[in-house]
Structure 1
Amino acid sequence: MRARDKFIVVALIALLVVVSGVAIAIDRAENKTIVPAYGGTYVEGVTSAAQYLNPVLAATPVDDDVVRLVFSGLSRFRSDGSIQGDLAKSFSTSEDGKVWTFQIRGDATWQDGKPVISDDVVYTVALLQDKAYVGPYSDAFRGVKVERVDDRVVRFTLPDAYGPFAASTTVPLLPSHLLAKVEYAGLARVAFNQHPVGSGPFRVIEADVRQTVLARNDSFYRTLPDRSRPYLDRLVLRSYPDTSEALTALGRGEIDGVGGLSTGDAERARTLKNVNLYSFGTNDFTALFLNMRPDKAMFRDRAVRQAIATAIDRGRVLQVAADGRGAVADEFVPQSSWAYIRDITRYTRSYDDAKALLDGADWKDHDGDGVRDRGGVKLSFAITTSNEPARVAAALQITDDLAAIGIRVELKAMPFTELIENAVPDRTYDALLIGVNVSGDPDPYSFFHSSEVKDPGRNFSGYFTFTMDRSLETARRTTDQAKRRELYTSVFQTLSTEVPVVFLYFSDYLYAQGKQVQGLKIAPINDPRERLWNAEDWYVRTARR
């Protein structure tokens, strides 16, 4: 073989080795798993600014968001509305349901390195029990005695057994070692409100009217033992005049996310190629409450109420009111809730069945005017609601559905403030179409107990039975979730049979994020700040392993 030929052979062999090496390297790279990596910043557009970064004083949506990211409570909600430990590693109740004992986890620390202890619980509860406090937690510990057992054990003694009490312990805690000398009267004046120290996954490093900047907490107990901190280095809440403008910024790539979208903005978000649109289910429902007080004769007839429930096309109501972004409702809680009961009476939409119910009760069009009547009483009533577009659209759909079975409906729409301040307290409406915000615990007591019939109670229909009262009362005294559910079964079945209210739909919380953001987990939430429930797991960088 000539020298030149030898050179060519050697070169080809060398090339083959190189190509094989590259192929092996590519194959190994392709077989590696893409995993979250530390670093990067997430920027979200919001429509308010920071005021009091303190769970006791939070006054704006941004305050609430920051509290969710910076602080934590003894417990927190699971996705089905049940309670699990958070700062507490465990908790128990006495046999009589009056004494609740919480064991604080040993790896929980404040962001300045101090341990979370029972003194922090005692201090926080004392602020919430102050007579001057009128915030969202004002009823959480009314009449409750809280005491330090030791550094890591705290005990609550209730005046009476109260099953939903565990939900009260989701309240975020404040650090007593920094604030113990500050009483509620002076709390609004301390620098802590702008530079808080919490126990959550992020800490505040800057806050002004333009934006609030948070950095990772490098020693966050909830990510242990897999890792010691969140993936993101920074999380920024940047203020915009409105959600629409924030969505425009998202489309331009200036921010990474925006929540609380209207249905119109959600449609815009769907057109943005680098954006994901998410829907969080909520406990918030829209319903038609039928006034069953003695002066509302027609609603005393169960056949009328059942016919109304049968005629209304809930799916269509959801479509026209919320662009279909939600879930049709058929009872007080959504299907994701631990309290949801599957085996109760449902009403499948049918004009024929609705007409048959009315015919059987002699509600017929005796005078040929197109409206059913009986004994000289016309089957005609008014729906009172707010003049918000979604409520009006829902009311008009219901009006059309009921007209199809011979019931005439008048719409009385008014500004929301007038509805809440006048119409609802007066209780003189025929039927009330309203949206209801429900807390994380699915206790229906305030909506259907006899003690709640008058304002400020929320028994808008005025319907109650003594049997249902006893079930609601017993459920409140029961700490066993299975027993509470059993008691709610009879309550929800009674409501389904008697139909004092027609549940229409549960609303979704609409949220848009850039596709570069990963780690968001969709779960039912009970208020907007809960969209951030697993922010410690979000990431914008990846690595191969």
Structure 2
Amino acid sequence: MPTLRPTTLAALAGLALLGGCERRGGCTGEYCGTMVIAATGEPDILLPPVSEFATTRDVTEPIFLKLADLGLSGNTVGDEDFQPQLAQRWEWDAPTTLVFHLDPRAHWQDGQAVTAADVAFTYDVYTDTVVNSPFRSSLRHIAAVTTRDSLTVVFRFRQRYPEMFYDAVYHMRIMPAHLLRELPRDQWRSTPFGRAPVGDGPYRFVAWKAGQSIELAADSTFFLGRPHIRRLIFRFTPDQQVAVTQLLAGDADVIEVLITPDNVERACADAKLACYPYKGSAYGYVGFNLAAPGDSTKPHPLFGDRDLRRALVLATDRERPLHNVFGDLARVPPGPMSQLWWVWDPEIRELPYDSAQAARLLTRLGWIDSDGDGIRDKDGRELSFRLLVPTTSAIRRQYARLLQEEFRTAGVDVQLDEVDFTLFNERARAGRFDALLTTWNTDPTPSSGFPQIWTKAGFGRSNYGRYFNPQVDQLVDRAVTSAMNRDQARRAWRSAFEILNQDAPGIFLFATENVAAVNKRFTDVTIRPDSWLALVRTWRVPPDRLTDRDRVER
């Protein structure tokens, strides 16, 4: 069992008491309000270094701070558009040396001060090969993080490049060294701390009812200003439609994205709800496993063949299922990218939909229908594979069936492996699949969002299909680190995407446009596209709009 220091156990026990009782009708004024968020997934653990779940990001965003955070402009180049969090100020000591000065008011929710040692410790954890953080590759250009004194921390980079500051601050949520330093690195994914964290942000952890909800409470002593909303409750729902039903019934207040045209129409027509369109940061795709399931040392018997993968991409009409499912709320992406990325370019060269060419290629590869059953075969084996799909996503299940029909027309048999979200992620990480249908919430820039999935740096972490092309890796590294202007970087990215598209490691299906729905009693609502709850501490419920739920006190 993971070993925690006595101070950790005391802190967790103290925070657990917060969830013991509640009374209604007591809260009035500007700092009340309860926001119930209808969430379609549950976090695996509330420990940012070891989880890439979008729901983990959403829940931990208000619990743990960064040194500085992205501004509303979304500009990741330079440091001008970043907002201070734990760092009060910063300066460049040299072209590759960045110095942060921490805010002396910052403290952990057990009363301990946040120090430079916490920052150095956090970097060590994120880059530790045993911890194996999914964000480790995003920090590969940082050579060292050291301390000068208790409030001064120094980042040294391997070279100068445009997004140095972004790399220093965006990926790491600072962890409490005094509570976690003695935790063995191989136990970070199972520690009790991850079920009841102690943070430094505007909200503190209260309770986690597995399969039901997570509750956070505003920290009235938060050094950057007391949050206006008193409680955040993430209520887990089995799928998107249940979440929308709860929203329309008034049982939930907020939903991050409505996804389908029908849901948008219903929610936006509801008098108690306000709709907020914003750029989508997600794309969905079928990812092929290029390695044998469960044995990454061997090629996959089907998808190790580049030409077979290309044939399957050519056989897929991506526009038809997109319009069937999303209407105008998504676009077919020209590669693995979200609409949030500045490199989005419809002119990027990719494999077209061409069923005739797909059929010719499959025949040339020896896959023919020798027995007339409608499924191609070769050497006594049918052209058949299993597609891994999470049961929690109605959208992906619908897509899976539409794709199953398309592939059947091409003479390819697809069996659906529909499993719960936890098992889906376990199998994806372990490489125990033929192909999977997934979505990826991207970082705001391809510099970090692309390498963790589509380069060798992502092996053992987020590159589930183990795609690797040295040319792509070299182009990505050149685009990220060279002292080039945006036009030069765009050309390097375009070349990388085009090579990847020709390799066909996946079928890139949709890139969403988002519409959030929020109960109208909430005001000052601002949504940042890359992290929709990043500014939740500034949202509020005016006193004259408080409901009984808002007045609940603990």
TM-score interval w.r.t. the shorter chain?
0.5 to 0.7
Question: Counterparts of 1:97-112 in structure 2 under 5 Å?
Answer: 99-104=96-101, 109-110=106-107
Q: Give the match's secondary structure for 1:184.
A: coil
After the TM superposition, which of the residue ranges 359-368 and 149-158 deviates more from structure 2?
Answer: 359-368
Report the CA distance between 1:252 and its aligned residue. Answer: 4.5
Q: Output the CA distance in 2 between the equivalents of 1:501 and 1:346.
A: 12
Structure 1, unpaired ranges of 5+:
1-36, 222-227
Report the CA distance shift for 1:272/1:370 in structure 2 as closer, same or farther (over 3 A): same
- 1:498-509 superposed matches below 5 A: 498-507=503-512
2:33 paired with 1:41: yes
Alignment partner of 1:101: what SS?
Answer: strand
1:52–1:59 contact (8 Å) kept in structure 2: no
2:154 corresponds to: 155
Name the CA shift for 1:372/1:298 in 2 (closer, same or farther; >3 Å). farther
Q: How do 1:32-431 residues align onto structure 2 when only pairs under 5 Å count?
A: 38-45=30-37, 65-77=58-70, 80=74, 82=76, 85=82, 86-87=84-85, 88=87, 89-90=89-90, 92=92, 99-104=96-101, 109-110=106-107, 117-126=115-124, 128=126, 133=131, 145-150=144-149, 152-157=151-156, 166-167=166-167, 169-170=169-170, 171-174=172-175, 179=178, 183-184=182-183, 196=198, 198=200, 200=201, 202-204=202-204, 207=207, 209=209, 212-215=215-218, 217=220, 221=224, 230=227, 232-237=228-233, 239=235, 250-253=247-250, 255-259=252-256, 269=267, 272-278=270-276, 281-287=280-286, 289=288, 300-301=306-307, 305=310, 309=313, 312-320=316-324, 325-341=329-345, 343-346=347-350, 354-355=355-356, 381-387=383-389, 388=391, 390-401=395-406, 407-416=410-419, 429=434
Report the Cα offset of residue 491 of structure 1.
Answer: 0.8
Cross-structure match for 2:11: none
Shift of 1:148: 1.4
Per-residue deviation, 1:274: 1.4
Q: Verify: 1:472 aligned to 2:476, yes or no.
A: yes
When residues 467 and 236 of structure 1 are mapped into structure 2, their CA distance, relative to the original with a 3 A threshold, is closer
Whether the 8 Å CA contact 1:285–1:329 is kept in 2: the answer is no
Which amino acid is 1:385 matched to? L
Does the 8 Å CA contact 1:162/1:478 hold for their aligned counterparts?
A: yes
Please list the CA deviations of residues 440-484 of structure 1 after superposition, one character each: whole Å capped at 9, or x if unmatched: 2524345554687x87783738563x4334323444654768465
Q: Deviations over 1:503-540 (max 9, x none)?
A: 11135677432122233334433xxxx32112133233
Distance of 2:290 and 2:230 partners within structure 1: 51
**SS of 1:471 mapped into structure 2:** helix
Q: Residue type of the partner of 2:415?
A: K
Select between 362-371 and 255-264 the one with higher mean Cα deviation: 362-371
Determine the C-alpha separation between the residues in 1 that align with 2:32 and 2:258.
Answer: 25
Q: Is the 1:215–1:234 Cα contact (8 Å) retained in structure 2?
A: yes
TM-score if structure 1 supplies the norm length? 0.64
The whole-number CA distance in structure 2 between the counterparts of 1:419 and 1:175 is 31
How far apart are the structure 1 equivalents of 2:208 and 2:159?
44
User: 1:409 Cα deviation (Å)?
Assistant: 1.8
Alignment partner of 2:532: what SS? helix
Deviation at 1:333, TM superposition (A): 1.4
Q: CA deviation at 1:428?
A: 8.8
Deviations 1:208-230 (A, max 9, x none): 75763523656654xxxxxx555
Q: What amino acid does structure 2 have at the position aligned with 1:75?
A: A
What residue identity is the alignment partner of 1:82?
A: T
| d(CA) in 2 for partners of 1:180, 1:501 | 42
Q: Select which of 513, 516, 523 maps to 2:518.
A: 513
Residues 377-427 of structure 1 show CA distances to partners (whole Å, capped at 9, x for unaligned) of 9998435312545445434434554666xx322112224488777799679
Supply the AA of the counterpart residue of 1:275: L
Contact 1:52 1:193 in 2 (8 A): yes
The answer as to whether partners of 1:148 and 1:155 remain within 8 angstroms in 2 is: yes
Distance 1:213-1:495 versus aligned 2 partners, 3 A rule = closer
Question: Normalization by structure 2: what TM-score?
Answer: 0.64
Displacement of 1:330: 1.7
Q: Which amino acid aligns with 1:384?
A: R
1:434 aligns with 2:434: no
* Inter-partner Cα distance in structure 2 for 1:384 and 1:399: 10
- Residue 23 of structure 1 corresponds to which residue in structure 2? none
Gaps of 5+ in 2: 1-28, 292-298, 545-554
Name the SS for the 1:237 alignment partner: strand
Q: 1:315 to 1:80 in 2, by over 3 A?
A: farther
Matched position secondary structure for 1:312 = coil
Percent identity, aligned pairs only, is 17
Q: Aligned-pair RMSD on alpha carbons? A: 5.6
Instruction: Give CA deviations for 1:359-391 in whole Å, capped at 9, x if unaligned.
Output: 7999699999798999x9999843531254544
Q: What is the rounded CA distance, in whole Å, between the counterparts of 1:175 and 1:411 in structure 2?
A: 47
For 1:49 and 1:291, the matched residues in 2 are separated by 29
Structure ID, larger Rg: 1
- When structure 1 is superposed on structure 2, of 491-500 and 59-68 the one drifting more is 59-68
Kept after mapping to 1: 8 A contact 2:375/2:413 = no
User: Could you say which residue in structure 1 is the equivalent of 2:22?
Assistant: none
In structure 1, what residue type is equivalent to 2:286? A
2:4 maps to none
Q: Which has the higher helix share?
A: 1
CA distance 1:396–1:461, shift in 2 (3 Å): farther
Aligned residues: 477
